[in-house]
Amino acid sequence: YGAGKVGLAFTDKVAAHAKLGLDYLALSSDASRADDSELNIMYGIGGEFKLNQKLSIEANYTVLGDVGFVDVSSINAGVNYKF
């Protein structure tokens, strides 16, 4: 599955983005004998700060949906280098 992403540059160094798409989550647990899977709408927001023309840092928050009794989301941070 996948997601579309749109962005908005506030300055030449600072940008924000939003994403929306579909994902498939599966849960399997021997302890509770639970098996479940769900097709979910995922969405998220994030931002990027360019340190220079080749190097930037970014952070993202994404809600992936729920499967069974578990809500799944992620917070990510990273460094980008453009060759």
DSSP 8-class letter at 58? E
pLDDT tens readout for residues 36-80 = 788 989 999 999 999 999 999 999 999 998 887 788 899 999 999
* H helical segments located in 1-83: none
CA of 31: how far to CAs of 25, 37, 60, 71, 72, in Å? 19, 17, 32, 18, 19
Euclidean distance between CA atoms 8 and 28, whole angstroms: 39
| Predicted TM-score (pTM) of this structure | 0.80
pLDDT of residue 28: 80
Q: How confident is the model at residue 34 (pLDDT cuts 50, 70, 90)?
A: low
